[in-house]
């Protein structure tokens, strides 16, 4: 599939991103926002203890968005606010660990694409456990 057809496909889509804080997840989020600014929304499912912890992740990504920030200038902040929503959850928990029922229902209603970029955070997790986590998310 050519890049042009991928970017065309993503136009107007809402994407649930798992593993957004990992190496591939960060690159994926930056790339989508840079090459397809007409993506409708990215929901980033983050394993965080509270909303302020989730917001801190975005602050750590400042250097990652340098190209996009330079391109958008003063509009960068509003662009990110409009396109990206951090959601506290955990793919290994029931209902993705999203306690806010209204938010969970909104996400499930809106998403067009789910990306599985998550990886085990504990290296002691077995391969089988990692696969079951991935497969469980696919059963949504």
User: How many separate domains does the chain show?
Assistant: 1
Encode pLDDT of 89-140 as tens digits: 888 788 888 999 999 999 999 999 998 776 655 555 565 655 555 555 544 4
For residue 4, CA distances in Å to 1, 8, 14, 100 come to 8, 6, 18, 36
Task: Write out the two tokens for 45.
Answer: 């499912």
| pTM value surpassing 0.75 | yes
CATH number of the structural domain spanning residue 92: 3.40.50.720
Is the distance from CB of 116 to CB of 138 less than 8 angstroms?
Answer: yes
Collapsing DSSP to helix, strand or coil, 140 comes out as coil
Taking CB atoms within 8 Å and a gap of at least 24, the contacts of 20-26 are: 20/44, 20/45, 20/46, 20/57, 20/117, 21/46, 21/57, 22/117, 22/118, 22/119, 24/117, 25/115, 25/117, 25/118, 26/61, 26/64
Encode pLDDT of 19-42 as tens digits: 888 878 888 999 999 999 999 999
Is the distance from CB of 130 to CB of 120 less than 8 angstroms?
Answer: yes
Domain that holds residue 43: 3-138
């Amino acid at each position: 599939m050519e890049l042009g057809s991928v970017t065309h496909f993503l136009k107007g889509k809402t994407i649930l991103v798992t593993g957004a804080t990992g190496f591939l997840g960060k690159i994926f989020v930056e790339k989508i926002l840079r090459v397809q600014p007409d993506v409708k929304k990215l929901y980033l499912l983050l394993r965080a203890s509270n909303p302020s912890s989730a917001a801190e992740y975005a602050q750590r990504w400042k250097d990652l968005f340098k190209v996009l920030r330079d391109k958008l200038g003063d509009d960068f902040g509003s662009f990110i606010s409009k396109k990206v929503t951090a959601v506290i959850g955990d793919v290994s928990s029931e209902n993705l660990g999203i306690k806010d029922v209204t938010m969970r229902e909104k996400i499930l209603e809106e998403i067009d694409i789910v990306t599985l970029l998550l990886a085990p955070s504990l290296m002691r997790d077995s391969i089988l456990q990692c696969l079951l986590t991935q497969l469980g998310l696919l059963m949504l």
